[in-house]
Chain A
Amino acid sequence: MSTNPFHAPPPPGDSAMLAQPPDHKSQWVRFNTVRRYLVNHLITGLAVLSTVLVIVPLVAILIYLIYMGASSLNLDFFTKIPAPVGEPGGGMANAMLGSGVVLALASLIGVPVGIAAGVYLAEFGRGKLLAGAIRFTADVLNGVPSIVMGISIYALIVKPQQHFSAFAGGVALAVMMVPTIARTTEEMLATVPHAIREAALGLGVPKWRTVLSVSLKTASPGIITGCMLAFARVAGETAPLLFTAFGNQFWSFKLTEPIAALPLQIYVYAVSPYDEWHRLAWAGSLVLIVMIMVAVTLVRVYASRGVLKGAS
């Protein structure tokens, strides 16, 4: 039995076992080997089973969402505003425009601040305690529920002004974008090889110029896709908009008025009792899912290409 590669010493508590005649011992070893093999296969099977149990329903949900969305999508969805209750037809054109307005405002504030914070973390703050603290806070902030952002911005902007507004919605989403973009920017900049930076610095290029024309330029595809991912994520956020942008059944372009947004509309329609509205909610979900899919795919493509290869 000693030729068995899986021979294991008996556990320390079984020292009496060693004193037994050799045939007892080899029997114990044989039993133990079988047991270890069985446990190994059992656990492997369980791991495979749980993966199947998870992946299959999740993919089924995804396919179901896409199917329901695709079968309820039509041209009206993109060109018309919601029909009055009970009437067929109508679309979510105003909600998509509204989402566009709110998201444009959010990106205008959130993207520059986020990228600048990321550049600080990656280029100037390496190894500093302050940068570590900022990084940690950003990660913690990423986990704060979005509804908390919603009521904070409500208290800051909506309450003093006495009315809901697209502006407040944009600010709420911008606040959510900053920590995410800061972290992805930092992650992408960290993949730029040090040798390139040193080459620039060695030529006498000042530090700020190196950061701008070498580090940022090299990492720019990754940073842009990181921003797209942040954009796609906040595009689906409902909770921060509930008490800021509030929603609107009609066209609205003004920043100072309540504005419709796609996720808000999906929420309202999903919990409504009308079939026609449910159909619109499915179609709206598909639009959000497609956005997410495109963003996630692009991030993966860029994260595994060129200079960025092999990192993270």
Chain B
Amino acid sequence: MGGMLLCGLSIFGIVVFILTILTVNSKLSLTQFGLHFFVHSGWDPVSGDFGALPFIAGTLETSLLALAMAVPLALGVAIFLSELCPAKLRAPISFVTELLAAIPSVVYGLWAVFVLVPLMRDTLGPLLYKYLGWTHLFEGYNFGVGILTASIILAIMILPIISSITRDIMLAVPTSQREAVLALGATRWEMIRTGVLRNARIGIVGAVILGLGRALGETMAVTMVIGNHPDIAKSLFAPGYTLASVIANEFSEATGDMYLSALIEIGLALFLVTVVVNAIARALVWAVTRGTPARAS
């Protein structure tokens, strides 16, 4: 019993350990730059000029774009799976979503490098420029790698997670709610809207935030297609950088204590942000599912 409690407490231990060790190791840059680090946009390791703003901007840009693409589709899938789907189809489709949620990031990255990047460069990119060029979002040279490509691969990766958790939440709404609304003469959509979505909305928001948490911290696939360039660009075709990908890309070649310390501080920021985002999301999901763990998370 005591040993088991100890193992349980080790989960707290992990959090405390990460927090302490990252803080201690980023002390150099924490004291040197202070909070200015997060609003400063220079990143020049040679002259010792460090600021995390380009990475914060890149992370937010890619994550929010990915959410914008993934959330409507994920909601549609969840509605289909929980309310409309014939029973026979439900098991295979949820099996595939679970499988896709478990495929390693590096494998998605591999696919993106060889399929998505050429597609973006030769087909999708020119089309976007032709029809949506007036928004000035699709300007500059289209390399195939960049913010937009990274957002698309992120959207593909968080879709299965958001849709399977949303489905679990919608299935947690009692059938009596649905029957009550149907008995009042509602059409099926009205039943879904008033009987299911309204009851499950807190949990659905939680599922979306959970997807956001995933997108913020996603490392390998993004590093492989975002172009890795520390500039805040206006165009979605431009290469960028995220918090996670700058660590993955530069950590092992970081020379000098300050460089390393700045990268660890970025890691600390990433840790704190994802902990907060996930805590909010879990609290919202738990409010609906009462603590039963969501599948494929």
Contacts and interface: CB of A to CB of B under 8 A. Distances in A.
Contacts of B5: 120, 124
Given A124-B1, A179-B11, A61 B248 contact: no
Contacts of A221: none
Given A134-B11, A187-B293, A151 B264 contact: yes
Interface in B64-96: 72-77, 79-81, 83-85, 93, 95-96
The main secondary structure of chain B at its interface with chain A is helix
A267 B76 contact: no
Interface residues of A, number: 100
Interface in B147-171: 156, 159-160, 163
Given A54-B159, A119-B4, A143-B274, A134 B102 contact: no
B161 to A, nearest CB: 10
A50 interface: yes
A62 B7 contact: no
A310 B201 CA distance: 26
B84 A44 contact: yes
B21 A124 contact: no
B73 A147 contact: no
A227 to B, nearest CB: 14
B: contact size bracket: 35 or more
Contacts of A147: 217, 219, 244, 247-248, 267, 270
B40 interface: no
Contacts of B127: none
Contact of B15 (A61, A137, A295): A137
B96 A58 contact: yes
Interface string B100-116: 10111111011101110
B103 A289 contact: yes
A57 B115 CA distance: 12
The main secondary structure of chain A at its interface with chain B is helix
Contacts of B264: 151, 155
Contact of B14 (A46, A136, A141, A184): A141
B4 A271 contact: no
B275 A140 contact: yes
B111 A232 contact: no
Interface centre among A149, A187, A236, A239 (most CB of B within 10 A): A239
Nearest to A207: B1
Contact of A156 (B21, B102, B283): B21
B18 interface: yes
B35 interface: no
Contacts of B274: 143-145, 148
Contacts of B79: 47
A145 B14 CA distance: 14
Interface stretch (A2-10, A21-29, A83-91): A2-10
A134 B6 CA distance: 11
Contacts of B187: 6, 36-37, 39-40
Given A47-B84, A239-B248, A182 B11 contact: yes
A232 B98 CA distance: 13
B8 interface: yes
A285 B108 CA distance: 9
A97 interface: no
Interface string A126-143: 000011111111111111
Contacts of A137: 11-12, 15
Nearest to A312: B292
Contacts of A296: 95, 98-99, 102
Interface of A: 5-8, 36-37, 39-40, 43-44, 46-51, 53-55, 57-59, 61-62, 64-65, 112-114, 116-117, 119-121, 124-125, 130-149, 151-152, 154-156, 159, 175, 178-179, 182-184, 186-187, 208, 229, 232-233, 235-239, 242-243, 246, 263, 266-267, 270-271, 278, 281-282, 285, 288-289, 292-293, 295-297, 300, 312
Given A120-B7, A285-B106, 15 more contacts: A6-B187, A47-B79, A49-B76, A57-B156, A112-B7, A134-B12, A136-B286, A137-B11, A139-B297, A142-B278, A143-B278, A148-B274, A184-B293, A229-B102, A239-B248
30 contacts: A47-B79, A50-B72, A57-B156, A58-B97, A61-B111, A62-B99, A62-B103, A65-B110, A116-B4, A120-B1, A130-B8, A140-B282, A143-B217, A144-B278, A145-B217, A147-B247, A179-B11, A179-B14, A236-B103, A246-B252, A267-B106, A267-B109, A270-B113, A271-B113, A282-B110, A285-B106, A288-B107, A292-B103, A293-B99, A300-B95
Closest 6 CB pairs between A and B? A236-B104, A145-B217, A50-B76, A143-B278, A116-B7, A120-B4
Interface of B: 1, 3-12, 14-15, 17-18, 21-22, 24-25, 72-77, 79-81, 83-85, 93, 95-100, 102-107, 109-111, 113-115, 156, 159-160, 163, 185, 187-190, 192, 210, 213-214, 216-220, 224, 244, 247-248, 251-252, 263-264, 267, 270-271, 274-275, 277-279, 281-283, 286, 291-293, 295, 297
